[in-house]
Structure 1
């Protein structure tokens, strides 16, 4: 991908909302993992008041995905850029979110327990933590307040789109702070944290992650790149012919072949 300074045309990642998010984990007192979550300011134009992960677009000075996610977390919640205090664990596969948004999560581990948040109040109202393992369970990891007794900890909706085939399951997890105005963990944030927990604990959730027949992230992104007008225009700006992008059905066969080869190599 061309750097913005190398091309007078708008860059794909800067114009067409390719984002990077930081998933910041830390070890609690009992040795279990927690994830940092923020409550977005109510004055923001998009996703006001939502529970989210820090992140945003690439800046020209960012040399790679990791630096973008780290810089955004530093600007939003004051998380240090020092990889000695906050080392990189992994970079996950991209996720396709709503309104033509591709998001890549960067996962880090906070080693310095003396760190204190510095919130960018125009963007972030508050910061809190949630047990990572709770994204593998349908039951809450915390004592339920009387006001919350009739509300399920984990719910989901299977939604369809007029532009994409099949339904996509959107998960919702309660934070335990809803009576104070904090919103549940929902949609893209929930999907990312289910994936991080599945990898971190090397086990599947006790609920079905996908809707029946739901296409994979790879298939959804392939279809968006080939058929979504916004991504087609972005591809043209980058000198990419959308007609040469494989159909999702072809990608499905490639994924199956790859998975079979991996399974045979483990025998």
Structure 2
């Protein structure tokens, strides 16, 4: 990216942060019988360009506003970066080694969700997000995280944005039981189409739990892996926890480390931020989850064709400012009005979103008015998977029935051929 492009990105980021600061997203209430809440921190900083260093001692963050911070010359010529963590390896943890954001579950002592985000960041990576170190920008859309392919709500996830005001990388203290390493990744790398890839995951256990009567081993043999959209991370700066057992390889010819892949729920949260920033291409670069086996993939493509077409039309329509001026215009889009239940005056409804392993579908639906705000504020990527997981379950069942039917026909033909020849 040229220096001119980098300056454009900084300018766009400033406008996005100002907007998020002035217009916070509303809080989502917990679903019935789901008391858990969790928060994550999206920690941003600006890396100064070599030709435009920071010449004067930085002012405390408490003396800075978003406007005053972006007025500095070193900021205007800098490179925005976002912090990611790589989870430590723990027995029984299904997210071992996954890329994530600093964060965790809300404690009873936490005053609110934002306090949880700051506390978890300090505990996990040792970065103080207090007023002297960072500007608390605001939040991104909250979502209801589900399991069993959208059937069971687990908790409400609350993302919060922070902007570090120092030109220097902050000192870190990584929690060995939680974090193996941290990585500062430029936003321009997250926006690059060249770094888009796929992650392959075994989802047979999840399907076996959600579909009664189907064993995991059978599903694993029949379905192979599932492909999810991902971003290959290119860190500009990394910090490693040297006290974890896996820091030093046990063998001289140990396998090389796999690439850092951003996918799933964390990709969904980051996509919310990227979709706010020009060229607003988080949707275009994202792909629907599918299976590696060609027959299951074909069935999923066929069954989801109308769904995907409606979503594409919905997204294209909401990009046109002339089409989102009123509630009625957005509600009349394909698939919108049918999914939005009538509300009592003065009361906003709740409908849990589907945030499973793929991560982009969210529960950001706090009523009819809130849905319009969601679609008109440039973060519509979160509705792309809404309603997709029932199609996944149907496609898997259809493909399995089709395979059994084909196997039965082949077996019948071979048996008849054998009987005829004997």
Selected match of 1:181 from 237, 241, 258: 258
1:162-211 alpha-carbon deviations (Å, 9 max, x no partner): 79xxxxx9530112489523541011111111221232x34311625475
Aligned position for 1:238: none
Deviation (angstroms), 1:124: 0.4
Selected match of 1:77 from 125, 133, 152: 125
Greater share of helix: 2
Q: 1:79 to 1:182 in 2, by over 3 A?
A: farther
**Higher Cα Rg: structure 1 or 2?**
2
Q: Within 1, Cα distance between the matches of 2:228 and 2:162?
A: 25
Q: Is the Cα–Cα contact under 8 Å of residues 54 and 72 in structure 1 kept in the other structure? A: yes
Deviation (angstroms), 1:32: 1.6
Q: Within 2, Cα distance between the matches of 1:62 and 1:14?
A: 20
Selected match of 1:137 from 189, 192, 203: 192
Q: Is the Cα–Cα contact under 8 Å of residues 40 and 50 in structure 1 kept in the other structure? A: yes
1:129-180 alpha-carbon deviations (Å, 9 max, x no partner): 111233333113xxxxxxxxxxxx33489x9x979xxxxx953011248952
Q: Is the Cα–Cα contact under 8 Å of residues 12 and 18 in structure 1 kept in the other structure? A: no
Q: Within 1, Cα distance between the matches of 2:286 and 2:127?
A: 31
1:108 equivalent in alignment to 2:162 = yes
Aligned position for 1:28: 47
Greater share of strand: 1
Cα RMSD (Å) of the superposition? 4.0
TM-score by length of structure 2 reads: 0.42
For 1:139, what is the secondary structure of its paired residue? Answer: helix
The answer for unaligned runs of 5 or more in structure 1 is 1-10, 141-152, 164-168, 226-247, 261-267
Selected match of 1:204 from 258, 270, 280: 280
Q: Within 2, Cα distance between the matches of 1:170 and 1:205?
A: 17
Selected match of 1:224 from 352, 362, 375: 352
Aligned position for 1:255: 371
Aligned position for 2:229: 171
1:63 equivalent in alignment to 2:82 = no
TM-score by length of structure 1 reads: 0.63
Q: 1:111 to 1:253 in 2, by over 3 A?
A: closer
Q: Within 2, Cα distance between the matches of 1:256 and 1:37?
A: 31
Q: Is the Cα–Cα contact under 8 Å of residues 135 and 194 in structure 1 kept in the other structure? A: no
Q: Within 2, Cα distance between the matches of 1:173 and 1:210?
A: 11
Q: Is the Cα–Cα contact under 8 Å of residues 14 and 58 in structure 1 kept in the other structure? A: no
Aligned position for 1:232: none
Q: Is the Cα–Cα contact under 8 Å of residues 137 and 205 in structure 1 kept in the other structure? A: no
Q: Is the Cα–Cα contact under 8 Å of residues 84 and 185 in structure 2 kept in the other structure? A: yes
Aligned position for 1:87: 135
1:40 equivalent in alignment to 2:87 = yes
Q: 1:56 to 1:258 in 2, by over 3 A?
A: closer
Q: Within 2, Cα distance between the matches of 1:89 and 1:63?
A: 18
Which stretch of structure 1 is more off in the superposition, 60-69 or 48-57? Answer: 60-69
The answer for unaligned runs of 5 or more in structure 2 is 1-29, 50-77, 148-152, 212-226, 236-254, 289-307, 312-334, 341-348, 354-364, 377-422
Deviation (angstroms), 1:13: 11
Q: Is the Cα–Cα contact under 8 Å of residues 13 and 19 in structure 1 kept in the other structure? A: no
Q: Within 2, Cα distance between the matches of 1:14 and 1:90?
A: 28
Selected match of 1:123 from 174, 178, 188: 178
